[in-house]
C-alpha cells in the first residue's frame, strides 16, 4: 500500500491507465475476432468488410500506446494476408 501522497497519486494514475489500456485492447480483440469469424465462415465479402473496420481500430490502439506500433503493424499485416489468401488467384 502506498504511504506517500505522491505514491498514492501514482497508484491512482496506474489504475486509470490500466483500465484505459484494457478497454482499448478489448475493443481491438473484438474487431480482430470478427475478422477471424468471417474467415472461418468462408465469407470473403464479410471478411473484407470486417478487415476494413478492424485496421483503424488496431492503429488507434497503437497510437494511444496500449500496444506497440510494430505489434499493430504485424497484426494488420497478418490479418490482411489471411483475407487476401482467401481470394482465389485471378
Domains of the chain, by residue range, sit at: 5-86
User: In CATH, what class is 5-86?
Assistant: mainly alpha
Rg (CA), the chain: 18
Tell whether pTM > 0.75: yes
Q: What is the pLDDT of residues 20-65, one digit of tens each?
A: 999 999 999 999 999 999 999 988 999 999 999 999 999 999 999 9
Amino acid at each position: 500500500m502506498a504511504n506517500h501522497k505522491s505514491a498514492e497519486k501514482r497508484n491512482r494514475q496506474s489504475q486509470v491507465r490500466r483500465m484505459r489500456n484494457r478497454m482499448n485492447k478489448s475493443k481491438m480483440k473484438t474487431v480482430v475476432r470478427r475478422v477471424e469469424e468471417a474467415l472461418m465462415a468462408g465469407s470473403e465479402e464479410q471478411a473484407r468488410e470486417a478487415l476494413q473496420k478492424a485496421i483503424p481500430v488496431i492503429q488507434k490502439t497503437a497510437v494511444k500506446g496500449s500496444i506497440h506500433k510494430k505489434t499493430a503493424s504485424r497484426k494488420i499485416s497478418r490479418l490482411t494476408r489471411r483475407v487476401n489468401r482467401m481470394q482465389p488467384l485471378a
